[in-house]
Amino acid sequence: MKQIIFATNNAHKLGEVQAVLGDEFRLVTLAECGITEDIPETAATLEGNALQKARYVHERTGRDCFADDTGLEVDALGGEPGVRSARYATDGHDDEANKRLLLERMQGVEARGAQFRTAIALIIGGKEYLFEGIVRGNITLEEQGNGGFGYDPLFVAEGCEQSFAEISAEEKNEISHRGRAVRKLAEFLQEL
Ligand code: IMP
């Protein structure tokens, strides 16, 4: 089984990505590589942050690795919160405050189109590659469902009636931004 480091401390993401990559790859966590500190994410774009995280891990471990960065891009807010999705309401990573702020900003807004976008940066054999996944949808009027994480209760994908917090992890992976980006990564890795 091939091993690759996934630069995240988010157990939800780890589970989602491992499910898409399947048995051929074992994801190695940051904790397993002895990286316990927060990795800086100070770039101006999702791609920049993903590369910054992957480079940080590669410099310290010398091993193949990938990192992702995701943003919720809301049309009526000019693409906000975008790269600032994690720290939208506060400097900490407060999902509840972020969701409240988004609903506040969207109060009275009729055109509720949005997209989740994931950028993945892979460093393998010392070379860098980028992959992208997008899912279009709409921002709900209020929270719907208790599953998932982050902004999931506020997002209904195109063609769906339930929010990302109301569908199973398998269903979410099928259509989600991260699922799409990870399948591109998986195809690339399988062709190596
Ligand atoms: P990051 O990719 O971990 O930096 O995520 C940025 C922000 O987007 C955080 O607030 C996450 O909670 C949120 N986020 C990332 N992926 C998802 C998702 O699949 N569903 C809902 N929120 C997400």
pLDDT in tens, 84-123: 999 999 998 899 999 999 999 999 999 999 999 999 999 9
Catalytic-labelled residue, pool 23, 38, 68, 69: 69
Q: Tell the residue nearest (CA) to atom 6 of ligand 1.
A: 86
pLDDT, position 192: 84
Among this protein's residues, is 69 annotated catalytic?
Answer: yes
- What's the average model confidence in pLDDT over 172-181? 94
Which residues make Cβ contacts (< 8 Å) with residue 5, sequence separation at least 6? 27, 28, 29, 30, 33, 57, 61, 63, 64, 65, 66
User: Cα(172)–Cα(38) distance, rounded to whole angstroms?
Assistant: 27
- What's the average model confidence in pLDDT over 170-176? 92
Q: Tell the residue nearest (CA) to atom 16 of ligand 1.
A: 70
